[in-house]
Structure 1
Amino acid sequence: MQPGNLELIRRYQIHMLEARGLSAKTIDAYLRHVLQFAGAIGNRDFNTLKPEDIIRFKIQIFDPNAEDIHPDELAPRTIVQTFNSLKAFLNWLREQPGHKKLAPDLPDYCNPSRRLAALSRVQNARHVPTLEELRIILRAMPDQSFKQRRDRAVIAFLFLTGMRDGAVIGLQMKHVDPDERHVFQDPRDIQTKFSKTIPTTWFPVGNDIEEIVQFWFRERCEGGATDTSPLFPSLRQSIDRQGLVSKETFWQSADPIRKLVQHACKAANVPVFQPHALRKTLTAMGEELCHSIQELKAWSQNLGHEELGTTLQHYGKVPEARQHELIGNMRNRNPRPDTRRLIDKLGRMSPDHVKLFESLIDGFDPLKVNHR
């Protein structure tokens, strides 16, 4: 690679870290794509780049005019990510000394075709468990050993809180208040998404699931766990010379959680799902349980989303069978706007006001009303 290009990439790395505050993982993804492009243009300097170079690179990794995707080619999502990374780099590059004469529209040539962009948004169907399937799994899980009880509590906790598995592995005892049914996701101690502080109240998924977590928390306390002990220890504890456990350790990654969920699904003869799918299960529950926009917003915030739209867009997809059922049920629905208005008002009422309204309705007889 041309030495000048390598130096620019190094400076871009510093820019992403210090000026944009990106994580090392995100920076690695950006640089991997930029380095791929730098390798494709060979020993040429970045200040000689032309739109034709971007076009050739596109064809090299994906033919934008092909009707079918060859199985050996990169997935559309990977290709779009590659060119998004390259576009961000070129926008930065045009502001650097010696490179301001690059074509102003050079970064625009990184835009994918509409077809490719659409293909990148297509996701393979992944199983989203139902509440009953989760109960089947939990009932089938043994609880004779410390490890077995821990594994069962992990799955119950994931559903009870909707937390991401990457955050769960860092939880300490002090982060959980089982009496208040509360979890404080503190980014100083655990890896929350975008390092957000997330106060979470246990979702109303059932007393049986709550009891599994509460029992586990009591066991940890009775076993001598301190405030800073892991809620779910990895069991790979360090052993001192006397053969005693000297310190409990945290999981280093979320892989063990994903594996134990997979194992539990297979043991219970339930379709395998990823831990993250539980957030979609909770979103579907929220859409059924929430009776007002405010309740739905609270449900969304409990998942760690600042915007309600995030919950609905990424987690709120209605399954196809349910879609057909809902549309079919609307055939006999009263479309009158005044009826809809009354229903909306009921959704915003407090429990006391609902009781008062019911008492008025119960005593209302339309046959006795004097019509003028």
Structure 2
Amino acid sequence: MKLLGETECDSIKNSLDTNTSLARIDEENVSDPARIGKDPGSRESQWHTHNDRVIHEWQAYAGRYDRKTMIAHLVSIRDFEQFLEGKPFEKVTPKNAGAYRDRLVELGRLLKKDGGLSNSTIRHRASHLSAFFNWLRNQDGFRRLSGNIPDYFLLPRGTMARTLPRDDKRYPSIEDALRMVQAMPSRTLQERRDKAMVAFAFVSGLRAGALTSLWLKHLDMDGKTVVQDAREMRAKNGKSFRVFWFPRTDGFQKIFCEWIAEISARGFTAQDAVFPEVKDLISGSEDFPPVAPLKTSRAFQTAFERASATIDEEYSPHAACRTPHAESLGRQAVPHI
């Protein structure tokens, strides 16, 4: 026999209710089901390996970037390679770069549902490839590449001015967002954590990485501010700043404050995470090591999916930043925290 804690009981009950494996109790280590089946489209995929060696060498150089930035660059490089049908990079010409640039511009004219790309994606891909070929031209075996190639990735101002103003990104109104969050269940600790997590996204506007790596010491509950400390949080581009809570978010703030009160009653201190893994929600105390935050933002993404499903919509976590009240966000740089 074994005495179970509250979170363990909740996990077992949830497994019984949903007929899922108990292995999913550890939400950080269990991946989503493989969903094995037939996918005729995947059979047509082609893998090009000729450029793998130099791309591997570029990854060593790109170690100065954070992981997400490096992945974004790799996506751009591989997309260009796919566009050229695996053509060796040492044989790339300015004409190839210009043809890819023109393709990006065409994709900018399409809606996302039709395979189009956003303003940000187009600019980043062009920038990533220009930087990659500037690096590539200095590598052994690639010095004969035309020095004009990076310039051919530059996007035409006039064309981009016509294609970039596009508003097909979906986000909820502040009223729909509150209704969405309030409809989330709150029977178990995990459900209350997820509900508070989504609520605070609309209160603070923090990105998923920063939100899920938040510590209690970063909060000023009286002053209604939160500090994004890039030294301790997964902050994009290593930026630190102080965020004032959005106005018109009293309903969201109430949910979040109730969560803070709950974990504080469990002994959580300033050195503990605001949103820890479920198995670490049992208690916090100065006599024990600090409770660590979630290792990834996957739990937040799952919580947001469940939240948006309550109103039969599909909103991404970034929707919290695009909700109309986001225009009133106040941020102050914090050079020394």
CA distance, structure 1, for counterparts of residue 105 and residue 248 of structure 2: 47
- What are the Cα deviations for residues 284-311 of structure 1, in whole angstroms up to 9, with x where unaligned? 562xxxxxxxxxxxx4425x799xxxxx
- What are the Cα deviations for residues 171-220 of structure 1, in whole angstroms up to 9, with x where unaligned? 12222232332322211221112111122232333544433322221211
Identity of aligned residues (%): 25
Q: List runs of 5+ in structure 1 lacking aligned partners.
A: 240-245, 287-298, 307-372
In the alignment, does 2:168 pair up with 1:124? yes
Q: 1:2 to 1:124 in 2, by over 3 A?
A: closer
Mapping for residues 92-131 of structure 1, pairs under 5 Å: 92-96=135-139, 99-111=142-154, 115=159, 119=163, 122-130=166-174
| Pairwise CA RMSD | 4.3
Q: How far is the alpha carbon of 1:8 from its aligned partner?
A: 4.4
Corresponding residue of 1:346 = none
In the alignment, does 2:243 pair up with 1:211? no
Corresponding residue of 2:58 = 12
Q: How far is the alpha carbon of 1:169 from its aligned partner?
A: 0.7
Q: How far is the alpha carbon of 1:65 from its aligned partner?
A: 8.5
Q: How far is the alpha carbon of 1:112 from its aligned partner?
A: 5.0
Corresponding residue of 2:300 = 257
2:268 aligned counterpart, secondary structure: coil
Corresponding residue of 2:331 = 301
CA distance, structure 1, for counterparts of residue 104 and residue 229 of structure 2: 46
Question: Which moves more between the two structures, 273-282 or 188-197?
Answer: 273-282
2:227 aligned counterpart, secondary structure: strand
Mapping for residues 140-159 of structure 1, pairs under 5 Å: 140-159=183-202
The alignment's TM-score, normalised by the length of structure 2, stands at 0.64
State whether residues 173 and 324 of structure 2, in contact with CA within 8 Å, keep that contact through their aligned partners in structure 1.
no
Q: 1:274 to 1:264 in 2, by over 3 A?
A: same
Corresponding residue of 2:320 = 278
Mapping for residues 16-165 of structure 1, pairs under 5 Å: 16-17=62-63, 21-35=64-78, 37=80, 40=84, 46=90, 49-54=92-97, 62=103, 75-76=116-117, 81-96=124-139, 99-111=142-154, 115=159, 119=163, 122-130=166-174, 132-165=175-208
Mapping for residues 239-254 of structure 1, pairs under 5 Å: 250-254=293-297
- What are the Cα deviations for residues 135-172 of structure 1, in whole angstroms up to 9, with x where unaligned? 33344344443233323322332222221222111112
Question: Which moves more between the two structures, 219-228 or 31-40?
Answer: 31-40
CA distance, structure 2, for counterparts of residue 119 and residue 261 of structure 1: 30
Corresponding residue of 2:272 = 229
Q: How far is the alpha carbon of 1:221 from its aligned partner?
A: 1.3
- What are the Cα deviations for residues 243-281 of structure 1, in whole angstroms up to 9, with x where unaligned? xxx9956333323223323323433x3744333222233
2:226 aligned counterpart, secondary structure: strand
Give the number of the structure whose alpha-carbon radius of gyration is greater.
1
Q: 1:155 to 1:37 in 2, by over 3 A?
A: closer
Q: 1:120 to 1:266 in 2, by over 3 A?
A: same
State whether residues 129 and 281 of structure 1, in contact with CA within 8 Å, keep that contact through their aligned partners in structure 2.
yes
State whether residues 236 and 248 of structure 1, in contact with CA within 8 Å, keep that contact through their aligned partners in structure 2.
no
State whether residues 93 and 99 of structure 1, in contact with CA within 8 Å, keep that contact through their aligned partners in structure 2.
yes
- What are the Cα deviations for residues 29-76 of structure 1, in whole angstroms up to 9, with x where unaligned? 323443565674868572x543344457679xx59899x97x999644
- With CA pairs under 8 Å and 6+ residues apart, which has the higher RCO, 1 or 2? 2
Corresponding residue of 1:360 = none
Corresponding residue of 1:172 = 215
State whether residues 129 and 273 of structure 1, in contact with CA within 8 Å, keep that contact through their aligned partners in structure 2.
no
Corresponding residue of 2:6 = none
CA distance, structure 2, for counterparts of residue 118 and residue 305 of structure 1: 37
State whether residues 276 and 294 of structure 2, in contact with CA within 8 Å, keep that contact through their aligned partners in structure 1.
yes
1:301 aligned counterpart, secondary structure: strand
State whether residues 237 and 247 of structure 1, in contact with CA within 8 Å, keep that contact through their aligned partners in structure 2.
no
State whether residues 178 and 217 of structure 1, in contact with CA within 8 Å, keep that contact through their aligned partners in structure 2.
no
1:189 aligned counterpart, secondary structure: coil
Q: List runs of 5+ in structure 2 lacking aligned partners.
A: 1-47, 283-288
2:278 aligned counterpart, secondary structure: coil
The alignment's TM-score, normalised by the length of structure 1, stands at 0.58
- What are the Cα deviations for residues 104-159 of structure 1, in whole angstroms up to 9, with x where unaligned? 323223345665785466452303322x3333334434444323332332233222
State whether residues 76 and 116 of structure 1, in contact with CA within 8 Å, keep that contact through their aligned partners in structure 2.
no
Query: Counterpart amino acid of 1:110?
Result: F
CA distance, structure 2, for counterparts of residue 200 and residue 156 of structure 1: 15
CA distance, structure 1, for counterparts of residue 75 and residue 249 of structure 2: 45
